[in-house]
Amino acid sequence: MRYELRRLLCFLLVIALPFLFNDCAAGPERSQPPKPISEALYNRLYKTESQLRAIMSDTTILAHDPEHGTQVEYTSAGGRCYLWYPGNQVIMRGEWKLELAVMESSLRIRTAKGVEAQRIAVPRLCFRYGPGTYNPVTGIKVGKWSCQDSQLSLLLNQERRKGDIFGLSRRRVPPFVLEPKNTTLNALLKKCKDC
């Protein structure tokens, strides 16, 4: 359920956004193309597979959403991931990978030179955590790969820093129990006594 909700949110925010602000004409009278998205939004959300791999490799990510709260994750260059989840007393160990683009889309992007049309391939970001783990929001046991379009991940990522700044890959137990409330990496580092 949550995965489908995220996919729908991703579609609405990123792919369908230009269509939402278009004139409301229906049928054959509608001849205007969708309004373009800004170049800044395009540059933030749309990455090639190699760009996304560089962003994700050896990176600590802070993400926040209303269902899960704040999550911190370290993703290694070798495809391992270490999730510090709110309320957990252990670091969840898993794997991450990129899937080749399964969706192509045409976008109109507003740049300083005018409006440009681009055809893009959207890579998917996938995670898998160990057996016996489950998603506390849905109650569903995980252990299989769970993938989402990369723009949604980039949209939810509030902060990223290179390196394993909390030492999550070397820990079994988190530095402290993470609260779900929204926070920053700096605030968490200040609370961490051995980071």
Please determine, for residue 147, whether its predicted confidence score (pLDDT) is greater than 90.
no
Which token pair is 79?
């495809």
Distance separating alpha carbons of residues 185 and 166, to the nearest angstrom: 10
Q: Where are the domains of the chain?
A: 2-191
Strand partners, 2: none
**pTM exceeds 0.85:** no
Model confidence at 71, in pLDDT bands (50, 70, 90)? very high
Q: What is the mean pLDDT of residues 85-104?
A: 85
Long-range CB contacts for residues 40-49, cutoff 8 Å, separation at least 24: 42/107, 42/109, 42/118, 44/154, 45/14, 45/151, 45/154, 45/155, 46/107, 46/120, 46/122, 46/151, 47/123, 47/150, 47/154, 48/121, 48/123, 49/98, 49/100, 49/101, 49/123
